[in-house]
């Protein structure tokens, strides 16, 4: 950000501009004013930089990491490889069990995708202290450790200060606090009687992030955990604080993303995107879902994709995936794949709606292949070509130019034959 403010074009800006088909000087201006972030820790040497924000393609993030009940790091690495295969631009390591730095170092060595963490999750295992005994300086140690390892962006819940907590307590929420990091900060504040250390010592945390060029992702500790809590005083009071913290970070040349709502009715999503962009000065917006209904456990990749598509079409820049396992368990490898695919669909659908350059070209190529009944090209263009091909081949067809749904009654085949001057006969060989 400092380079952009000085009119200097960095290698990362050049890479992002090329990926986006954007003039690099225009990109530089967006980085300078904070509307685009390029999370790129100076120590993440395997990174292929991506831009997040105004006028750019919608990016997606994959969450993974171990827990006390599921601590198989080899499985998490398989999830990493799957995420990279399907083009996830970011991976967040949310491990909250044991010494996590070995896995994180492997992740940073392997991954061209940007890597994010939530230092609060790691604090208890890293420090080997009970929550109440952790000090502000302890939290800084964990943030510095993650920055030194090469993490590109960190979720820090700095907006849940005492004013926001007062609004939360008055609101009488149905699901209270559902953010894991937010609930831990809230518990620490209540047990110690102190201000949120990430808020009280915000400038000191920013100095650490600036030293390694880590982007701050301002966490929404008071995000709604059910549709009945959306757009309430708790959510909006924290969002006001996040807007103030955004400007403070930019003043220190620290790039910012702002995190957004988790559960929200479809009718509220567009307005929330406008409010966030207004209150947070057009900083990139990073949303989880939103999940548009609370009654679909086992299918929340779908409820989130619906909300994510609407959110991104109305201004959100970065979608955090949700898997079918949300609310139920740590996702397995199949859950991860389903979550990635659903979120990629949402992001691409939004890019078409936003008029992102070249977004519609992909669909046009697929449509051309369908008109030509060119199965190999269709499989090559599909988000998940392996699945598409497996479905097509699962039921052999008599007519190779159609699928088992229509056979010789295929509308495309019929129209092509007529336009080519041929006669259509459904009973004879053609």
Tell me the binding residues. 63, 92, 121, 157, 179-181, 220-223, 259, 263, 286, 327, 403, 406, 410
User: Residues annotated as binding site for substrate?
Assistant: 63, 92, 121, 157, 179-181, 220-223, 259, 286
Cis bond upstream, residue 290 (ω within 30):
yes
* 215: enclosing H helix or E strand: strand 215-218
The position carrying tokens 């006028």 is 55
Tokens of 59: 């990016």
CA 362/CA 15 separation, integer angstroms: 21
Angle between helix 233-251 and helix 202-212 axes, rounded to 10 deg: 50
In 3D space, the residue among 90, 108, 137, 99 whose CA is nearest the CA of residue 42 turns out to be 108
Q: What is the DSSP string of 242-296?
A: HHHHHHHHHHTT--EEEEE-SB--HHHHHHHHHHHHHHTTT--EEEE--BS-SS-
Exposure on the CB side of residue 143, measured as CA atoms within 13 A? 30
Tokens of 257: 């993303």
Tokens of 144: 């510095």
379 contact partners, CB below 8 Å, separation of at least 6: 385, 386, 388, 389, 392
N-terminal to C-terminal alpha carbon distance within the chain: 64
The position carrying tokens 């790129």 is 40
* 26: enclosing H helix or E strand: helix 24-32
422 contact partners, CB below 8 Å, separation of at least 6: 430
Hey, is 117 helix, strand or coil? Answer: strand
Hey, is 288 helix, strand or coil? Answer: strand
User: Residues annotated as binding site for Zn(2+)?
Assistant: 263, 327
User: Residues annotated as binding site for [4Fe-4S] cluster?
Assistant: 403, 406, 410
């Amino acid at each position: 950000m400092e380079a952009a403010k000085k009119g200097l074009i960095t290698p990362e800006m050049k890479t992002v501009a090329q990926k986006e088909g954007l003039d690099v000087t225009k990109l530089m201006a967006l980085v300078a004013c904070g509307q685009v972030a390029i999370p790129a820790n100076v120590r993440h040497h395997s990174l292929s930089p991506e831009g997040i924000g105004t006028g750019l393609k919608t990016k997606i993030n994959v969450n993974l990491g171990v827990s006390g009940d599921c601590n198989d790091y080899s499985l998490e690495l398989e999830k990493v490889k799957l995420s990279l295969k399907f083009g996830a631009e970011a991976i967040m390591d949310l491990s909250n069990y044991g010494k996590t730095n070995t896995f994180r170092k492997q992740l940073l060595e392997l991954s061209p995708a940007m890597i994010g963490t939530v230092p609060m999750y790691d604090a208890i295992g890293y420090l080997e202290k009970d929550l109440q005994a952790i000090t502000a300086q302890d939290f800084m140690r964990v943030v510095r450790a993650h920055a030194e390892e090469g993490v590109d962006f960190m979720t820090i819940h700095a907006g849940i200060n005492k004013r926001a907590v007062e609004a939360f307590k008055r609101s009488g929420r149905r699901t209270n606090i559902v953010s894991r990091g937010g609930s831990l900060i809230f518990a620490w504040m209540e047990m110690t009687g102190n201000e949120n250390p990430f808020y009280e010592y915000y400038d000191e945390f920013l100095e650490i992030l600036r030293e390694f060029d880590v982007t701050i992702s301002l966490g929404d500790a008071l995000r709604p955990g059910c549709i009945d809590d959306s757009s309430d005083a708790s959510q909006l009071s924290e969002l006001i604080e996040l807007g103030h913290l955004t400007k403070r970070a930019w003043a220190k040349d620290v790039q910012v993303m702002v995190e957004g709502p988790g559960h929200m009715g479809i009718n509220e999503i567009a307005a929330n995107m406008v409010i966030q962009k207004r209150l947070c000065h057009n900083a990139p917006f990073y949303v989880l879902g939103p999940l548009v209904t609370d009654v679909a456990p086992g299918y929340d990749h779908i409820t989130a994709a619906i909300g994510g598509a609407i959110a991104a079409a109305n201004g959100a820049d970065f979608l955090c995936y949700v898997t079918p396992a949300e609310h139920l368990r740590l996702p397995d490898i199949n859950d991860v794949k389903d979550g990635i695919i659903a979120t990629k669909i949402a992001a691409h659908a939004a890019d078409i709606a936003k008029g992102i350059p070249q977004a519609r070209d992909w669909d046009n190529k697929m449509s051309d292949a369908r008109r030509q009944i060119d199965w190999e090209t269709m499989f090559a263009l599909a988000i998940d070509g392996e699945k598409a091909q497996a479905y097509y081949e699962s039921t052999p067809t008599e007519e190779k130019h159609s699928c088992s749904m229509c056979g010789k009654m295929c509308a495309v085949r019929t129209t092509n034959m007529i336009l080519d001057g041929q006669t259509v006969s459904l009973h004879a060989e053609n």
